[in-house]
Chain A
Protein backbone atom coordinates (compact mmCIF):
# COMPACT_ATOMS: atom_id res chain seq x y z
CA UNK A 1 0.00 0.00 0.00
CA UNK A 2 1.32 3.42 -0.96
CA UNK A 3 1.95 5.63 2.06
CA UNK A 4 3.08 9.23 1.97
CA UNK A 5 3.75 10.99 5.27
CA UNK A 6 4.46 14.71 5.28
CA UNK A 7 6.20 16.57 8.09
CA UNK A 8 7.90 19.87 8.77
CA UNK A 9 4.96 22.25 8.73
CA UNK A 10 4.37 24.88 11.36
CA UNK A 11 4.10 28.57 12.10
CA UNK A 12 6.70 30.83 10.51
CA UNK A 13 7.04 34.58 10.18
CA UNK A 14 6.86 36.32 6.80
CA UNK A 15 10.24 36.13 5.12
CA UNK A 16 11.15 32.97 6.99
CA UNK A 17 11.99 29.47 5.78
CA UNK A 18 10.74 25.93 6.29
CA UNK A 19 11.68 22.56 4.87
CA UNK A 20 8.93 20.02 4.32
CA UNK A 21 9.58 16.30 4.05
CA UNK A 22 7.50 13.50 2.58
CA UNK A 23 8.46 9.97 3.61
CA UNK A 24 7.32 7.40 1.06
CA UNK A 25 6.72 3.69 1.47
CA UNK A 26 4.88 0.85 -0.22
CA UNK A 27 6.24 1.50 -3.70
CA UNK A 28 9.53 1.96 -5.53
CA UNK A 29 10.05 5.64 -4.79
CA UNK A 30 12.89 6.12 -7.25
CA UNK A 31 10.65 5.03 -10.15
CA UNK A 32 8.03 7.73 -9.63
CA UNK A 33 7.88 11.41 -10.39
CA UNK A 34 6.60 13.28 -7.33
CA UNK A 35 4.80 16.53 -6.65
CA UNK A 36 3.84 18.97 -3.95
CA UNK A 37 0.30 20.34 -4.01
CA UNK A 38 -1.11 22.89 -1.59
CA UNK A 39 -4.63 23.72 -0.56
CA UNK A 40 -6.32 26.65 1.07
CA UNK A 41 -10.03 27.04 1.77
CA UNK A 42 -10.25 30.04 -0.49
CA UNK A 43 -8.11 28.90 -3.39
CA UNK A 44 -8.68 25.17 -3.60
CA UNK A 45 -5.91 22.91 -4.88
CA UNK A 46 -2.77 24.45 -6.34
CA UNK A 47 0.11 22.56 -7.92
CA UNK A 48 3.38 23.79 -6.40
CA UNK A 49 6.30 21.74 -7.71
CA UNK A 50 7.18 18.46 -9.37
CA UNK A 51 10.36 16.47 -9.73
CA UNK A 52 11.03 13.71 -12.21
CA UNK A 53 12.71 10.40 -11.60
CA UNK A 54 15.94 11.91 -12.90
CA UNK A 55 15.69 14.87 -10.55
CA UNK A 56 14.51 17.53 -13.00
CA UNK A 57 12.41 20.06 -11.05
CA UNK A 58 9.52 22.23 -12.17
CA UNK A 59 7.67 24.84 -10.15
CA UNK A 60 4.64 27.08 -10.42
CA UNK A 61 5.30 30.71 -11.21
CA UNK A 62 3.94 31.68 -7.78
CA UNK A 63 6.82 29.92 -6.00
CA UNK A 64 9.58 29.98 -8.58
CA UNK A 65 12.80 31.33 -7.13
CA UNK A 66 11.56 30.81 -3.56
CA UNK A 67 10.74 27.10 -3.28
CA UNK A 68 13.02 24.21 -4.24
CA UNK A 69 11.87 20.62 -4.64
CA UNK A 70 14.35 17.78 -4.22
CA UNK A 71 14.42 14.08 -3.54
CA UNK A 72 16.67 11.56 -1.82
CA UNK A 73 16.03 8.16 -3.36
CA UNK A 74 18.30 6.49 -0.78
CA UNK A 75 15.90 7.67 1.92
CA UNK A 76 12.66 7.39 -0.09
CA UNK A 77 12.00 11.00 0.82
CA UNK A 78 10.77 14.07 -1.05
CA UNK A 79 11.57 17.57 0.15
CA UNK A 80 10.31 21.11 -0.35
CA UNK A 81 12.61 23.92 0.79
CA UNK A 82 10.51 27.04 1.19
CA UNK A 83 12.25 30.41 1.51
CA UNK A 84 11.00 34.01 1.60
CA UNK A 85 7.63 32.81 2.80
CA UNK A 86 4.62 35.08 2.41
CA UNK A 87 1.21 35.14 4.02
CA UNK A 88 -0.38 33.76 0.87
CA UNK A 89 1.81 30.64 1.13
CA UNK A 90 -0.31 29.62 4.12
CA UNK A 91 -1.84 26.26 3.17
CA UNK A 92 -1.88 22.54 3.76
CA UNK A 93 0.97 21.08 1.71
CA UNK A 94 0.59 17.52 0.44
CA UNK A 95 2.91 15.33 -1.52
CA UNK A 96 1.59 13.12 -4.29
CA UNK A 97 2.89 10.53 -6.68
CA UNK A 98 2.73 11.42 -10.34
CA UNK A 99 1.04 8.84 -12.53
CA UNK A 100 2.76 8.71 -15.89
CA UNK A 101 4.18 12.08 -14.82
CA UNK A 102 0.93 13.72 -15.93
CA UNK A 103 -1.57 13.34 -13.09
CA UNK A 104 -1.65 13.00 -9.33
CA UNK A 105 -2.12 9.42 -8.21
CA UNK A 106 -1.65 8.81 -4.49
CA UNK A 107 -1.83 11.59 -1.94
CA UNK A 108 -0.48 12.19 1.54
CA UNK A 109 -2.53 13.69 4.36
CA UNK A 110 -0.65 16.97 4.27
CA UNK A 111 1.15 19.27 6.69
CA UNK A 112 -0.08 22.75 7.62
CA UNK A 113 2.13 25.75 6.95
CA UNK A 114 1.05 29.03 8.51
CA UNK A 115 2.89 32.23 7.61
CA UNK A 116 2.03 34.94 10.07
CA UNK A 117 3.66 37.47 12.36
Chain B
Protein backbone atom coordinates (compact mmCIF):
# COMPACT_ATOMS: atom_id res chain seq x y z
CA UNK B 1 0.00 0.00 0.00
CA UNK B 2 0.98 3.61 -0.56
CA UNK B 3 3.29 5.48 1.80
CA UNK B 4 1.97 8.78 3.15
CA UNK B 5 4.66 11.24 4.21
CA UNK B 6 4.62 13.90 6.92
CA UNK B 7 7.28 16.00 8.58
CA UNK B 8 8.47 14.19 11.70
CA UNK B 9 8.55 17.37 13.76
CA UNK B 10 7.87 21.08 13.52
CA UNK B 11 8.00 24.02 15.86
CA UNK B 12 6.08 27.26 15.95
CA UNK B 13 6.11 30.30 18.18
CA UNK B 14 2.97 31.20 20.13
CA UNK B 15 0.80 33.33 17.89
CA UNK B 16 2.63 32.19 14.80
CA UNK B 17 1.46 30.31 11.75
CA UNK B 18 2.57 26.85 10.77
CA UNK B 19 1.75 24.64 7.80
CA UNK B 20 2.09 20.88 8.07
CA UNK B 21 2.05 18.81 4.91
CA UNK B 22 0.91 15.37 3.81
CA UNK B 23 2.34 13.82 0.68
CA UNK B 24 2.61 10.57 -1.21
CA UNK B 25 5.88 8.73 -1.72
CA UNK B 26 4.91 8.48 -5.36
CA UNK B 27 2.41 10.79 -6.93
CA UNK B 28 0.51 13.89 -5.92
CA UNK B 29 -2.20 14.34 -3.33
CA UNK B 30 -5.42 15.75 -4.69
CA UNK B 31 -8.91 16.27 -3.35
CA UNK B 32 -9.73 12.83 -4.74
CA UNK B 33 -7.85 11.38 -1.77
CA UNK B 34 -10.22 13.17 0.66
CA UNK B 35 -7.34 14.21 2.95
CA UNK B 36 -8.21 14.33 6.63
CA UNK B 37 -6.30 15.57 9.67
CA UNK B 38 -6.27 14.40 13.27
CA UNK B 39 -4.84 15.89 16.44
CA UNK B 40 -3.68 13.59 19.18
CA UNK B 41 -2.31 14.56 22.53
CA UNK B 42 -0.28 11.58 23.80
CA UNK B 43 -2.44 9.32 25.93
CA UNK B 44 -5.67 10.72 24.53
CA UNK B 45 -8.10 9.74 21.81
CA UNK B 46 -7.47 11.31 18.38
CA UNK B 47 -9.58 14.34 17.55
CA UNK B 48 -10.78 14.83 14.00
CA UNK B 49 -9.86 18.32 12.79
CA UNK B 50 -10.34 18.42 9.03
CA UNK B 51 -11.94 16.10 6.49
CA UNK B 52 -12.46 16.16 2.73
CA UNK B 53 -9.43 18.43 2.34
CA UNK B 54 -10.81 21.57 3.99
CA UNK B 55 -13.98 20.90 6.00
CA UNK B 56 -13.59 21.54 9.70
CA UNK B 57 -15.09 18.98 12.03
CA UNK B 58 -17.71 20.18 14.49
CA UNK B 59 -16.26 22.38 17.21
CA UNK B 60 -12.86 22.87 15.58
CA UNK B 61 -11.79 26.53 15.69
CA UNK B 62 -11.31 28.34 12.40
CA UNK B 63 -7.61 28.86 13.03
CA UNK B 64 -7.25 25.31 11.73
CA UNK B 65 -7.62 25.10 7.97
CA UNK B 66 -6.93 22.51 5.31
CA UNK B 67 -5.91 22.86 1.69
CA UNK B 68 -3.95 21.41 -1.19
CA UNK B 69 -0.57 23.11 -1.61
CA UNK B 70 1.27 22.01 -4.71
CA UNK B 71 1.25 18.24 -4.70
CA UNK B 72 0.48 17.81 -1.00
CA UNK B 73 -2.38 18.26 1.42
CA UNK B 74 -1.73 20.88 4.06
CA UNK B 75 -2.93 21.75 7.55
CA UNK B 76 -2.37 25.37 8.54
CA UNK B 77 -2.64 26.56 12.12
CA UNK B 78 -2.96 30.34 12.36
CA UNK B 79 -2.28 31.98 15.70
CA UNK B 80 -0.81 28.90 17.35
CA UNK B 81 -1.61 28.40 21.01
CA UNK B 82 0.20 26.43 23.69
CA UNK B 83 -2.45 23.73 23.71
CA UNK B 84 -1.91 23.13 20.00
CA UNK B 85 1.26 21.30 21.01
CA UNK B 86 0.38 17.80 19.93
CA UNK B 87 0.89 15.09 17.34
CA UNK B 88 -0.87 15.64 14.04
CA UNK B 89 -1.73 12.85 11.62
CA UNK B 90 -3.08 13.02 8.12
CA UNK B 91 -4.92 10.21 6.37
CA UNK B 92 -5.64 9.65 2.70
CA UNK B 93 -8.50 7.63 1.28
CA UNK B 94 -7.24 5.27 -1.39
CA UNK B 95 -10.62 3.97 -2.50
CA UNK B 96 -12.31 0.62 -1.89
CA UNK B 97 -12.59 1.34 1.82
CA UNK B 98 -8.82 1.65 2.24
CA UNK B 99 -7.20 4.48 4.17
CA UNK B 100 -3.54 5.16 4.91
CA UNK B 101 -2.19 7.34 7.72
CA UNK B 102 0.96 9.35 7.58
CA UNK B 103 3.62 8.85 10.22
CA UNK B 104 2.55 11.94 12.13
CA UNK B 105 4.14 15.31 12.92
CA UNK B 106 5.07 16.29 16.43
CA UNK B 107 4.31 20.00 16.80
CA UNK B 108 6.07 21.99 19.47
CA UNK B 109 4.84 25.45 20.43
CA UNK B 110 7.66 27.48 21.94
Contact = CB atoms under 8 A, between A and B. Distances in A.
Interface of B is mostly: strand
Given A47-B91, A99-B51, A103-B34, A108 B99 contact: no
A47 B98 contact: yes
Contacts of A110: 45
A108 B44 CA distance: 10
B80 to A, nearest CB: 21
Given A44-B87, A102-B34, A103-B36, A58 B98 contact: yes
Interface in A90-106: 94, 99-106
A101 B51 CA distance: 11
20 contacts: A37-B101, A43-B103, A44-B89, A44-B101, A47-B99, A52-B97, A58-B98, A61-B1, A94-B46, A99-B48, A100-B51, A102-B34, A102-B93, A103-B51, A103-B99, A104-B38, A104-B46, A107-B46, A107-B47, A110-B45
Interface of A: 33, 35, 37, 43-47, 50-52, 56-58, 60-61, 94, 99-110
